[in-house]
Amino acid sequence: MSRTDLIPPDRSPSAHCHARRVRLPDGVGATWLAGLFERAVRTWWGDTPDRLPRLWDERVPAACDSAVAGRRVEAELHRPLDAEGALLRAVLLQYADGPADLVLVAHRANLDALSLRTVADVLTGRARYEGFTDKTASHIVAAADAETLKRWREADFSGRIAWASGDDAAGDRTGLVTVAIREAGPDVPATMAAAVGLVLGRYENQENPVVGVLGPVPERPEGALGAFDAGLLLALDLSGARTAGELVAETAQALASDGGRCDGRQYAELLAETGGRVVAGLLTDGPAESGSGTHVPCQTAPFPLTIVPGRTPDGGLQLVVRHRLEDVDADSARRFARHVVRAYEQLANAPAGLVPADVELMDEAETRQVVALGRPLRRLDWRPERIDDVFASRVAERPDAVALTCEGRSLTYAELDARADRFAAALLDRGVRAGERVGVCLGRTPDLVVAMLAVLKADAVYVPMDPAYPADRLAFTAQDAALRIVIADQDFPGGGSASVVRPEELETHGGEAGRARPERREPGEAAYVIYTSGSTGRPKGVVVPHRNVVALLSATRDDFGLGPGDTWTLFHSSAFDFSVWEIWGALLTGARLVVVPYWVSRSPEEFRELLARERVTVLNQTPSAFAQLMEADRRQDERLAVRLVIFGGEPLDARPLRAWFDRYPEDRCRLVNMYGITETTVHVTAQNVTRREAMTGSRSVGHALPGWHLYVLDERGRPVPCGVPGEIHVGGDGVALEYLDRPELTAQRFLPDPFTMGRVYRSGDRGRLLPDGRLEHLGRLDTQVKLRGFRVELDEIRNVLLDDPSVTAAAVVLNGDRDAAGARIDAYVVPAGGDPAAIRQRAAKVLPEHMLPATITPLDTLPLTANGKLDVRGLPEPVVAPAAPIRAPSGELAGALAAVWESVLGVPVGPDDNFFELGGNSLYAMRVAAAMRDRGLPAFPMRELYLHPTVSGLAYVLDEVTSHE
């Protein structure tokens, strides 16, 4: 007898032990059985006396149908047997009321399922032992050829199972779910294996999913006792190159051939090479039998999802999935089993042209259920209106309330209204037509808000532009939006055909104020156009109508308790739509809006001071910016008046918020994480963030807002099952009108809603719906990269880095050619102390080799864009490049300044290098200030650095200051 090398090889013996229980027929006594057993095993295995099985005869002091007896049988069926020990364990359980059960346990490496059944038949008098002999299987199992190995190697292996929740403490424990199969097909194992691969491919978004198969080789000799199970991997081609019929036929062929087997060693090598794993596998012991007794095909599941086709007691087909609780919870396993059965039924009766992608995983009822899952908890109760009309109501209600504050100056609602009316009248005088786009390129001043309101009052459409943006970008926007008029402070660098109007010119306009157009466009018409730059291609203008903004406020006002008692900040660039929420969120609910000067927004300390001074209650922040603010706040004793913080703009890692909750308990300040997209009007979902989320590191972004709804769809636009990742689509009252003048792109991204009236926006974000309808945001679809054949989610790596308590922030980028060997993952971390080597070591414990970043570069802070999001382009080179020759700064002060900058920034500094382009940021700025103080250099206000961000510029100003002292 020689052992067979099984897959998967690394499991405890219980994964390869199988067991069978039979009730002894009437008249078969224990003594008779013992005699027969002795004779039979001596005949079969007399030549290996040290491995000879023995019969354990035991009494159970309880009736055969008692709970005690049931527990005992279960225990016996699940006692493992070592592969090297006795060939078989036989236990006779004699119950107090007469009947007896025989329980047989064997290791697959010694005896296969048919052998075990034969032994049972012999011992219960159904067959004679003389008809069977011990055989060895090794000679009939051929190893995989080079061709097959190559196919396996190139297939998609899986990583962590993201669509289920595992229990880390479950150990070997295995769950079991059963689903009936209504329509049987001709070749059950092959069809089932194809169905499993298909479902797995859909769940994991794989084109070449791998399915393990463990079962008897086709050439199993008649009447043999022994080990005839061998392993096999199926790499299924779901690309569409094969029809469903071909897929099943190929699978059948692989299963029926005597070659192409995968042994334990090959299996282990493959996994080591690909860094992945095989999450689903079939045990094909076969549905060949039904009838009495119990068969346990595996004591614990060898594969995380172990699929066993079998028969129900009445002879029907059924699917049993044994799942390792460590990886897959019961609900997810049940869903998986249901989808496999549905796929199986379609494959079994596939019409000729059916391709794998045609197969539907969910029936109508389940589809309806997941569609309903993405709906908000409440309906939106509102009336579509124009933004300026809602504003007018607020003016009428409380004309003397303060609407805007900026650096000590304030405007009441009435004053703001009047000033905007004057601006509007001036615009009308300049011939602005209804629906015409007007550029607003102003810094963060009250006039920015006045100008936007004025454009709306003139029934035109505002196009916000951040004057800090590069001239090229502004010129592009002006041209793309076909702007005739741009309201700008300084010289508008955009040039071109647009004429620039300064706020002063609009202000001093002599025309009569309050002259609005008699007839204005409907609330469903455009109010503003914001340009977004996707990761690829040129920026595109998103056209958003009035009604969307009003819907957004209606959806959130009551829940957030927004009202005249609130003070908001205008913190974000007007070119980032978070500012739409800040401006209109405040002004349409009667609150006060504090305009935050740019340099204050760049300095967490100064911003914190402003929040305290102005007693701001509603704060909107990107998580990156909030992290810095939190840091600044921690150094102060006094608490802020903030009662609501809204996170937006980028994924939130809730874990660092624990420190915030210690200072600001949840009942004092509510934190809400909102997932949003410019194309769906700022926000889509809302998730309250409490200590619980911080503790669990929850990635949920919550339910859809009332009026908004979500679908998670596959590439064909079909809903994916609950828990399975897909692309987030957003429908409802927030969907923008279009991309300005980009009909093809609009048609690609704004699609007809497949389940209701209206349109949905296809976000390009990956997400999944949790069973309670909350959305989990899993990053951009395009951050999922394929690296050396392996699908890698950069956000997943980032999360692992963030799990390290010594890392406060992290960024992960893919460098080099994406699909070539040159591709490399680089990580940047902000360590709380400690050395990066230790961070790397800890990450290596969790991440497979291919996911481990090639470099981990420590930074003091991550660079942020003007919008407060991670600035990928602002990340330094992971490997320090040799310094290029540069012109030395001239002058004593300039030299000293350059030295300070160099020490802080860690790069060589020339006289005309821009501080911020060298990687400088607010934190570095503070360091520079501190270092200058230490060296006795003149102190300077933060503002100066923003106005003069070069060594020569700043040196000049400082010279001026000191020489006048």
Partner 1 sequence: MTMRLSGKTAVITGAARGLGRASARMFAREGADLVLLDVARGLPGVPYALGSASQLEYTAELCREFGVSVMTRQADVRETHDVEAAVSMAIGRFGRIDVLVNNAGIAAPSGKVAHEIDEHEWQLMIDVDLSGAWRAIRAVGKLMVEQRSGSIVNIASTAGLVGYRHFAGYVAAKHGLIGLTKAVALDYAPRKVRVNALCPGSVRDDPQVEGRMLAEIARSLDVPVGEHEEAFVQAQPMNTLIEPDDVASAAVWLASDESRQVTGSVLTVDGGFTAR
Based on CB atoms, which residue is closest to partner 1, 38 or 819? Answer: 38
Minimum CB–partner distance for residue 212 and partner 1 (Å): 23
Phi, psi of 406, rounded to the nearest 5 degrees: -150, 120
Q: How far apart are CA 779 and CA 761, in angstroms?
A: 16
> What's the min distance (Å) between Cβ of 53 and partner 1?
9
When binding is defined by CB under 8 A, the residue of 28, 34, 62, 357 that contacts partner 1 is 62
* Nearest CB to partner 1, comparing residues 58 and 835: 58
CB atoms within 10 A of CB 317: 20
Show Cβ contacts of residue 504 under 8 Å, excluding neighbours closer than 6 positions.
none
717 contacts partner 1 (rule: CB under 8 A) = no
Smallest gap from Cβ 68 to partner 1, in A, equals: 3
Query: Which residues, numbered 674-703, are part of the site for partner 1 (CB under 8 A)?
Result: none
Tokens coding 220? 């199993």
User: Is the Cα dihedral 450, 451, 455, 456 positive or negative?
Assistant: negative
Q: Does residue 79 bind partner 1 (CB under 8 A)? A: yes
Site string for partner 1, 176-215 (x = CB under 8 A): ----------------------------------------
Closer by beta carbon to partner 1, 68 or else 695: 68
Contacts of 163 (CB under 8 A, 6+ apart): 203, 204, 332, 721, 723, 724, 725, 768
The tokens describing 522, both together, are 């409907």
Count H helices and E strands in the chain, helices first. Answer: 28, 39
Answer yes or no whether residue 60 interacts with partner 1 by CB under 8 A: yes
The pairing of strands 402-406 and 210-216 is unpaired
Give the residue with the Cβ less far from partner 1, 50 or 147. 50
Out of 38, 58, 491, 917, the residue judged to bind partner 1 by CB under 8 A: 58
H-run or E-run covering 117: helix 113-123
Query: To the nearest whole angstrom, how small is the minimum distance from the Cβ of residue 791 to partner 1?
Result: 31
Residues 533-552 close enough to bind partner 1 by CB under 8 A: none
> Least distance (Å) from partner 1 to the CB of residue 10?
12
Pick the closer one to partner 1 by CB: 12 or 292: 12
**71 near partner 1, rule: CB under 8 A:** yes
Helix axes 146-154, 264-274, angle to 10 degrees: 40
- Largest Cα separation within the chain, whole Å, is 118
**Number of neighbours of residue 944 by Cβ within 10 angstroms:** 15
Q: How far is the CB of 79 from partner 1 (least distance, A)?
A: 5
The interface region with partner 1, picked from 58-66, 135-143, 144-152, 354-362 by CB under 8 A, is 58-66
Name the region of 779 (left: φ>0; alpha: ψ -120 to 50; beta: rest).
left
- Say how far apart CA 529 and CA 224 lie, in whole Å: 77
CB of 14 to partner 1, least distance (A): 8
Q: Find the shortest distance in angstroms from Cβ 44 to partner 1.
A: 18
Interface of this chain with partner 1, residues 101 to 120, rule: CB under 8 A: 105
C-alpha pair distances (Å), 828 with each of 82, 379, 810, 863: 48, 43, 6, 10
670 sits near partner 1 (criterion: CB under 8 A): no
Q: How far apart are CA 369 and CA 367, in angstroms?
A: 5
Which CB atom, from 71 or from 658, has the smaller least distance to partner 1?
Answer: 71
Q: Does 521 bind partner 1 (CB under 8 A)?
A: no
- 894: contact with partner 1 by CB under 8 A: no
CB of 60 to partner 1, least distance (A): 6
* Distances, alpha carbon 549 to alpha carbons 42, 385, 440, 740, 769, in Å: 85, 9, 18, 18, 26
Closest CA to 875 of 798, 941, 952: 798
Asked if residue 52 binds partner 1 (CB under 8 A), the reply is: no
Which two tokens mark 333? Answer: 């396993």
Q: Side chain identity at 458, as an amino acid letter? A: A
Residue of 5, 76, 679, 913 that binds partner 1 (CB under 8 A): 76
In the sheet where 526-532 sits, what is the strand order?
499-501, 485-488, 437-441, 461-464, 526-532, 540-545, 738-739
Determine the interface stretch with partner 1 among 35-43, 70-78, 174-182, 549-557 (rule: CB under 8 A): 70-78
Residue 378 Cβ vs partner 1, minimum distance, rounded to whole Å: 41
Beta strand 567-570 with 592-595 is: parallel
Least distance to partner 1, CB of residue 85, Å:
6
220 binds partner 1 (CB under 8 A): no
CB of 5 to partner 1, least distance (A): 19
Six token digits for residue 29: 């006594």
Query: For partner 1, what does the binding mask look like between residues 4 and 33, x meaning CB under 8 A?
Result: --------xxx--x----------------
Task: Report the distance separating Cα 122 and Cα 127, nearest Å.
Answer: 5
Q: At its nearest, how many Å lie between partner 1 and the CB of residue 81?
A: 5
Residues facing 178 on adjacent strands: 320
Kindly state the number of chain residues that form the binding site for partner 1, as judged by CB under 8 A. Answer: 27
Interface with partner 1 in residues 144-163 (CB under 8 A): none
Binding test (CB under 8 A) with partner 1, winner from 36, 40, 69, 900: 69
Match 């219960």 to its residue by tokens.
Answer: 124
Q: In this complex, which beta carbon is closest to partner 1, that of residue 83 or of residue 262?
A: 83
CB of 94 to partner 1, least distance (A): 12
- Figure out which of the listed residues 9, 11, 28, 85 binds partner 1, where binding follows CB under 8 A: 85
Considering the complex, state which of residue 91 and residue 194 has its C-beta at the smaller distance from partner 1: 91
With respect to partner 1, which residue has the nearer C-beta, 33 or 859? 33
Cis ω on the peptide bond leading into residue 8 (within 30° of 0)? yes
| 330 lies in the binding site for partner 1 (CB under 8 A) | no
Residue 556 amino acid letter: T
Q: Does 397 bind partner 1 (CB under 8 A)?
A: no
Q: Is 709 a residue that touches partner 1 (CB under 8 A)?
A: no
Residue 65 or 892 having the CB closest to partner 1: 65
For the residues of 38-88, what is the DSSP string, one character each? HHHHHHHHTT-GGG---EEEEEESS-TTSHHHHHHHHHHHT----TTS-S-
Distance CA 119, CA 20 (A): 10
Q: Which residues here bind partner 1, judged by CB under 8 A?
A: 12-14, 17, 54, 56, 58-62, 68-69, 71-72, 75-76, 78-82, 85-86, 89, 91, 105
